Amino acid sequence: MDDNKTVSAPSHTDAPRREGGGFVELVRTVVIAGVLALSVRTVLFEPFNIPSGSMIPTLQVGDYVWVAKYSYGYSHFSLPGSPNLFTGRIWESTPHRGDVAVFRFTKDTSIDYIKRIVGLPGDTIQMREGRLYINNQEIPREPEGEYTAIDEHRTRMEGDRYREILPGSAGRGPVAHDILKLTDEGGKNDTPEYVVPPGYFFAMGDNRDDSADSRFMGDEPQDLGFVPMENLIGQAKWIFMSVDAAHPFWQVWYWPAEIRWGRLFMGVR
């Protein structure tokens, strides 16, 4: 009796079937991976990059952040391509004062904005001589020294850094965060009183004198005004990458030096 095991060689008629089966499995794997990635991006987290200096010093130009899409519930803006399938928000949760949030621009909802939420429905917001007032109470700020910022145009901005303390909301404690002030003059530093209407919020950049935000209520294309809750995408949570990009992309030898290693995996506060 022959105990040797034999393996049959595949015939020519078997080969196309096996190759076809392998291709089908590859397509199936790619489709499943794509669906899973799309589901995570839609429901859980989505990456965003910071293209401007309006949130300096909290966020720098070239930061990449993870945004939690579940933070405030879901609107049609949460879906890829923003199909107009429904109005309002599903599983809606009101944002908190002090949150750094990504939302759709009021004048063009194809554009994503990131700002800090400083006013909720019913709040009165005003700037007086460069100081922020919420509900007629001056918001305390503590000086932290001089600060030099570099914006998206590689322009140096010399200003002062402050630790601002926003009042909490919905039972949460105060929110301490840093801001940059370049001046206390100009219309953006002396505004009318704005009362946030129901269903909206008031957003400002931490770089207070270089931010197109809710202080601008006009009809100009860049004016933000009050932001509908429906426009919310999610809350910025972590910085997962940060690149200075001071040199052209093709100069690969600068890449390691341009990564801001100290900012990787920082929480956004």
The gap from C-alpha 174 to its chain's centroid, in whole angstroms, comes to 21
Rounded Cα gap, residues 175 and 148, in angstroms: 24
The continuous run of DSSP H or E covering 26 comes out as: helix 14-39
Annotated catalytic residue: which of 115, 188, 211, 242? 115
Annotated catalytic residue: which of 54, 75, 78, 242? 54
Q: Hey, what are 112's tokens? A: 């994503």
Rounded Cα gap, residues 96 and 93, in angstroms: 9
Half-sphere exposure of 118 (CA within 13 A, CB side): 30
Rounded Cα gap, residues 228 and 194, in angstroms: 15
The string over 224-254, giving b where at least 16 C-beta atoms fall within 10 Å of a residue's C-beta and e elsewhere, is bbbbbbbbbbbbbeebebbbeeeeeeeeeee
Distances (CA, A) of 102 to 4, 135, 143: 67, 24, 28
Residue 149 pairs in a beta bridge with 157
Query: Is position 54 annotated as part of the catalytic site?
Result: yes
Is residue 225 within 8 A of residue 194, CB to CB? The reply is no
Query: Is position 115 annotated as part of the catalytic site?
Result: yes
Residues with Cβ within 8 Å of residue 101, at least 6 apart in sequence: 71, 72, 95, 114, 115, 116, 117, 203, 232, 233, 234, 235, 236
Burial class (CB in 10 A: 0-12, 13-18, 19+), 262: exposed
Q: Which residues are catalytic?
A: 54, 115
